[in-house]
Amino acid sequence: MEPIHYITSAILDLDIIRDIIDNNMKLALSEEARLNITKSRKYLDQKIKESDVPIYGINTGFGALCNVKITSEKLTILQENLVKSHACGTGERVSKPIIRLMLLLKIQSLSYGNSGVALETTERLIDFFNEDILPVVYEQGSLGASGDLAPLAHLALPLIGEGEVYYNNEIISGASILEKKNWKPVKLQSKEGLALLNGTQFMSAHAVHGLIKAYKLSYCADFVSAVSMDAFDCNLSPFDELVHLVRPHRGQIKTAERIRQFLEGSELAQQEKENVQDPYSFRCVPQVHGATKDTLAFVHKTVKTEINSVTDNPNIFVKADKIISGGNFHGQPLALAMDYLAIAMAELANISERRTYQLVSGLRGLPNFLVENPGLNSGFMIPQYTAASIVSQNKQLCMPASVDSIVSSNGQEDHVSMGANAATKLIRVMENVDSVLAIELFNSSQALHFRSPAKSSEKIEHVLSDFRKKVPIVTEDVMMAPLIQQSKIFLEGFIIREDYLN
């Protein structure tokens, strides 16, 4: 029997989302969610029947056309026109894991009963998720306010038999998937198109995806730095708990604790040192990596609030008998958080590249560029160049998107968050951090080889034993790109025995 996650009003957090994705769980609406959705739709239908008063997005045009009244017999055409006209995405296609998250988060938001969608519409989105039918969505087009209009329009198109989807490892039309499944196109009712397009699910899906990856990269950065510390023959006294208790940032304390655990029992760490102090890129790992951990905690709090929120407009409040047009679609909280996260993660790459530089510099008894016969062999000279190039690109990508804004919709939407741009560049920063850490591990494994017969800790030696089956010690010049790629694959598959989402 396949595991099922029931959509409820209970708090959705990263560990739950990770379980849904990793265990390929199916979705189903709880009775609570079904009741909330049904009550909201019934209330909205009744309100339209009883009143001729213009209600934004329900019987009016959208954006700057909000004062144009639409007659009741044209409300379905209005909603379908909205979806089709707003599907203006361009650029690269969004990755499948992020599209799955978009579907999950949109379903969660609609389930609270403040959006006015029909039960059938929400259930069709669940069908898409469960059948692994993923609408083709594009990276560019959202301003991060008024919701992620263009990307979410592409997410909604297949509901009405338009657009494209990924299905069985190919791209087919929205009409074709409905035919294959013998499903009728959803006939959008009043407010439904707007509920599907309004919202921050493009931004928040990127944020969730990035945050889960960031936690793992944070752990990997701690581990790789510990390997480099033994490879560079570092002094462990700066990691003494006493040092960090007098400056008790939570992330700093946690990082120092991890380093001590990774290096516990290391012969190299226990050897008497000739050098009294080590470069900052080694000595200040708790302070630098720790600050990133504290940033993760802040971003986690912001994202957790966002994915458990209603972010479309207008909002329907059945008990209060109100339909209120507000601004919950504005992505400013996410835009700022993702910019902050990108900066914090880029710092893990910055300090990593500096450790790589130290390892290849011919210091502390290590050969120049970590290879026998330097000169005849260039050894590890150029992997450090590659890391330097990547961290430089990260510095360009870390220009905050959230400080920008641009006027749209004839001045009605006169301040926007640019959170969608913050979202897409965050993912690129993450990919770059992954690459830089992989290069450091490649270098530190090679450097530690020259410390033989002295050994590092049992944990590090065990991991490096597995690593060297994929990325062997380099004895003479070879093509380095495939080895860097193998190092990256190793890190991506690195199994962490503890819960790292904290």
Active site residues: 56
Give dist(CA 493, CA 430) in Å, integer: 15
Give dist(CA 374, CA 184) in Å, integer: 69
Handedness of CA 155, 161, 164, 166 (dihedral sign): positive
| Tokens coding 185 | 């196109």
Q: Measured in whole angstroms, how far is the alpha carbon of residue 341 from the centre of its chain? A: 10
Which residues is 459 bridged to in the sheet? none
The phi, psi pair for 142, rounded to 5°, reads -95, 140
Provide the pairing of β-strand 315-317 with 322-324.
antiparallel
335 and 148 in contact (C-beta within 8 Å)?
no
Q: Measured in whole angstroms, how far is the alpha carbon of residue 293 from the centre of its chain? A: 15
Reported residue count of the chain is 502
Provide the pairing of β-strand 138-140 with 90-93.
antiparallel
Give dist(CA 379, CA 368) in Å, integer: 8
38 and 121 in contact (C-beta within 8 Å)?
no
Q: Which residues contact 50 (CB under 8 A, 6 or more apart)?
A: none
